[in-house]
């Protein structure tokens, strides 16, 4: 067994306590072997002055949208998608997806994120980028019926089913597939039901956007006299490891339904604030026992992929939403970004314990903005920035050591992405 020892630091435990310990990793098996004092390995990562914590889980993004960062801002969702984003996405080429995905993965590795769920196009290109980057991902082709005839819309869902099977197991098993109809309002009811049936036949989850804006929720309620997620459950979209992004506008009956069915909810606070979509009832979801993770959404509505920002936003916005400063406390925010996200995606990550996947971030606390260190969990939620991450490890492999990304050529990735983004915009206009 080839081992990696992460030595000299403190360790964040699943119960959110912090203890002094080393972490020993089996590099070939990709899992954690032991956590305890004085552990030696074939290779060592120095965690002095650092906190060893689970790699963060970005449970909802569109990673190649890094190419559209800053392309269109300051508009509400529907206008932003229809006037700006969908027209430019129509000009995307497969090589753009790969370049944008690599850029996003450099950004995620540099800020301690080791796993993500992605809904986009040309997902074989994203899977290839995941393979090179060394990260872990749940990938799905995003299918939209809007603007398509019945046949083309059905073919799009079929493509989502086929692509989920195609990418499943890629990157030495670090990629899994999911069927991803875009949302409850942009895919026809028949095709939503069909997507759920086909996904569950194949044993993969369904992932979609739901209850993001009032403009999306109100017509469903008016037309069907039913809450959107009760309708989604009737269509087969809740439970079975299924998960959805946003859940901003939820009533109590939907919160109970989500907890009862175990449907995963991905809270995307920065995107919800930027698009002025609203404030999700996160504390109520947590109180009900729902499975809640955090997502950045795409870099065009955030505008970065730093999950430390997301923890801070979730804690702050959660308090505003509940009108209660004790709501969404620091440990809740950290849990959502780690174990919560892993539970939403069905991954054996997000907790540092023997037998779990060795997906790890080491945060450097030797910094003025992290001094004094009264409470490291408080700092994780409120004060740490992605740039404080010193090392990133996924599946037992070192992806970043001392802030140098080892799996991708950062300079080349940035240059290629900037060039592809420039050419994309030129093609689209
Ligand atoms: C069909 S692939 C995914 C699709 O979703 C778009 N998108 C990006 N952000 C959001 C959001 O917050 N709500 C709904 N849809 C979003 C993305 O641009 C792709 O077209
Ligand atoms: Zn999204």
Cross-strand bridge partners of residue 35: 23
Angle formed by the axes of helices 150-167 and 189-202, nearest 10°: 20
Cβ of 209 below 6 Å from ligand 1: yes
Task: For residue 179, report the distance from its CA to the centre of ligand 1, in Å.
Answer: 15
Ligand nearest to the CA of 180: 1
* Cβ(154)–Cβ(194) below 8 Å: yes
* Cβ(32)–Cβ(89) below 8 Å: no
384 phi and psi, to 5 degrees? -75, 145
In the structure encoding, which two tokens stand for residue 327, read together? Answer: 């709501």
Q: Is residue 260 part of an annotated ligand binding site?
A: no
In the structure encoding, which two tokens stand for residue 170, read together? Answer: 């890629």
Q: Nearest-CA neighbor of 241 among 358, 102, 344?
A: 344
Task: For residue 391, report the distance from its CA to the centre of ligand 2, in Å.
Answer: 28
* Cβ(349)–Cβ(55) below 8 Å: yes
CA gap 113, 135 in Å, rounded:
8
Question: Cβ–Cβ contacts within 10 Å for residue 51, how many?
Answer: 24
Q: Which of 85, 148, 153 to mutate to test the pocket of ligand 1 (most atoms within 8 A of CB)?
A: 85
Task: For residue 201, report the distance from its CA to the centre of ligand 2, in Å.
Answer: 25
* Cβ(293)–Cβ(344) below 8 Å: yes
ipTM over 0.85: yes
pTM above 0.90, yes or no: yes
Question: Cβ–Cβ contacts within 10 Å for residue 387, how many?
Answer: 13
CA gap 181, 187 in Å, rounded:
7
Question: Cβ–Cβ contacts within 10 Å for residue 240, how many?
Answer: 16
CA gap 399, 53 in Å, rounded:
15
Length of the chain in terms of residues written: 429
Pairing of strands 50-54, 360-364: antiparallel
User: DSSP string spanning 43-70?
Assistant: EEEE-TTEEEEEPEEEEEE-GGGGGGTT
CA gap 130, 297 in Å, rounded:
18
DSSP state, residue 407 = S
Cβ of 160 below 6 Å from ligand 1: no
Question: Looking at residue 240, what is its pLDDT?
Answer: 84
Task: For residue 81, report the distance from its CA to the centre of ligand 1, in Å.
Answer: 7
CA gap 220, 278 in Å, rounded:
18
Residue nearest (by alpha carbon) to ligand 1 atom 20: 86
Q: Which of 59, 61, 62, 78 to mutate to test the pocket of ligand 1 (most atoms within 8 A of CB)?
A: 62
* Cβ(52)–Cβ(352) below 8 Å: yes
Residues of the chain predicted below pLDDT 70 = none
Q: Nearest-CA neighbor of 280 among 338, 220, 217, 339?
A: 217
CA gap 136, 406 in Å, rounded:
16
In the structure encoding, which two tokens stand for residue 57, read together? Answer: 């889980």
Q: Is the Cα torsion angle 339, 340, 343, 344 positive or negative in sign? A: negative
Domains and CATH numbers, the chain: 3-54+350-404 (2.30.40.10)
Question: Can you tell me which residue has the tokens 């001094």?
Answer: 371
Q: Is residue 297 part of an annotated ligand binding site?
A: yes
Distances (CA, A) of 112 to 135, 359, 380, 391: 11, 9, 12, 8
């Amino acid at each position: 067994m080839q081992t990696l020892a992460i030595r000299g630091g403190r360790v964040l435990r699943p119960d959110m306590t912090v203890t002094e310990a080393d972490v020993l990793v089996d590099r070939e098996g990709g899992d954690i072997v032991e956590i305890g004092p004085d552990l030696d390995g074939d290779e060592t990562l120095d965690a002095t002055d650092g906190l060893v914590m689970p790699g963060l889980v970005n449970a909802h993004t569109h990673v190649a949208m890094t190419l559209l960062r800053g392309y269109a801002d300051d508009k509400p969702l529907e206008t932003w998608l229809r006037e700006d984003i969908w027209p430019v996405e129509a000009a995307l080429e497969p090589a753009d997806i790969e370049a944008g995905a690599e850029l996003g993965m450099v950004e995620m590795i540099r800020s301690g994120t080791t796993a993500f769920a992605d809904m986009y196009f040309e997902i074989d290109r994203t899977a290839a980028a995941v393979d090179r980057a060394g990260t872990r991902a749940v990938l799905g082709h995003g299918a939209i019926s809007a603007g398509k005839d019945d046949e083309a819309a059905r073919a799009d869902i079929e493509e989502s089913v086929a692509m989920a099977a195609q990418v499943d197991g890629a990157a030495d098993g670090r990629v899994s597939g999911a069927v991803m109809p875009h949302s409850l309002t942009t895919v026809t009811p028949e095709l939503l039901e069909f997507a759920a049936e086909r996904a569950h036949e194949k044993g993969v989850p369904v992932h979609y956007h739901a209850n993001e804006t009032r403009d999306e929720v109100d017509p469903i309620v008016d037309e069907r006299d039913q809450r959107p997620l009760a309708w989604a459950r009737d269509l087969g979209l809740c439970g079975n490891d299924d998960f959805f992004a946003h859940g901003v506008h939820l009533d109590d009956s939907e919160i109970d339904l989500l907890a009862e069915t175990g449907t995963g909810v991905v809270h995307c606070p920065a995107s919800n604030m930027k698009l002025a979509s609203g404030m999700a009832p996160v504390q109520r979801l947590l109180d009900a026992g729902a499975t809640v993770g955090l997502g950045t959404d795409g870099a065009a509505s955030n505008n970065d992929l730093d999950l430390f920002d997301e923890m801070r936003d979730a804690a702050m916005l959660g308090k505003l939403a509940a009108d209660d400063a004790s709501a969404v406390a620091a440990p809740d925010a950290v849990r959502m970004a780690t174990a919560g996200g892993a539970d939403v995606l069905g991954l054996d990550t997000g907790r540092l314990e023997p037998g779990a996947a060795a997906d790890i971030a080491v945060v450097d606390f030797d910094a003025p903005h992290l001094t004094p260190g009264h409470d490291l969990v408080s700092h994780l939620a409120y004060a740490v920035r992605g740039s404080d991450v010193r090392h990133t490890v996924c599946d037992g492999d070192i992806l970043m050591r001392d802030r140098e990304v080892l799996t991708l050529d950062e300079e080349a990735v940035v240059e290629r992405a900037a060039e592809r983004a420039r050419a994309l915009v030129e093609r689209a206009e």
